[in-house]
Structure formats: C-alpha cells, structure tokens
Amino acid sequence: MNEKRRQLQQLQMMMSEFDRMTKDLESQIVIEEKKSGISDPNHFAYPTFAKAARQRADNLQVSIKELKMQEESLEQALEEMQAEYARASALEERDSAIRARA
C-alpha cells in the first residue's frame, strides 16, 4: 500500500508541475501575440515561438489527462488494497479471539 501511495503522490506532483508549465507557456504565448499583434494561430505571420509554445501546452494537457486516468486507476487499486487489508485484519482478530478462548 505504501508503494501505491508513493506512486499516487508522484503522479499528483507531476500533474501539478505540468499544470504550472502549461500556465507559464500560455502567458508566454500571450506576450508573443501582443508583441507581434497577431493572435490568430492560422495567420501566416503568427509567431513561430507562440506556435511551438501552444503545441507544447497542448501536449502537456494531453499528458495531464493521461496521468489523471492513471491516478484514478491507482486510487481504485489502493482502495481495494485497503479493503482487503481491513478484511484480513478482521479475520486475524477473530482468529486471535478464538485461539484465546481455546
């Protein structure tokens, strides 16, 4: 269970970092668009840096979505492990009580 918790924390840290990076890229895109006076990505003179930053931000969003799916899967596995541990603990207590009476 500890390993699953550690993996879950790592995923959450990665998603947070990717989100921060996306916001940084988006603010850089706005700056580039203001400098060039062109905000339409389809315009022939749209800044190359803004195009690349936009693509990177989009890729980070896809990665965040994929990590979110992994997070949900890990959370479910952790819940199942905790339920199994609780059942095993209850059985152990019951067995100990039976042995104590015998």
Per-residue pLDDT of 8-46, as tens digits, reads 999 999 999 999 999 999 999 999 999 999 999 999 999
Instruction: State the DSSP code for 59.
Output: H
Alpha carbons 80 and 88: distance in angstroms, whole number: 12
Amino acid in position 11 = L
For the chain, which residues make up each domain, given as ranges? 2-101
Least confident interval from 40-44, 51-55, 93-97: 93-97
pLDDT surpassing 80 at residue 51? yes
How far CA 13 is from CA of 6, 27, 57, 71, 90, in Å, comes to 11, 21, 17, 11, 34
pTM confidence score: 0.77
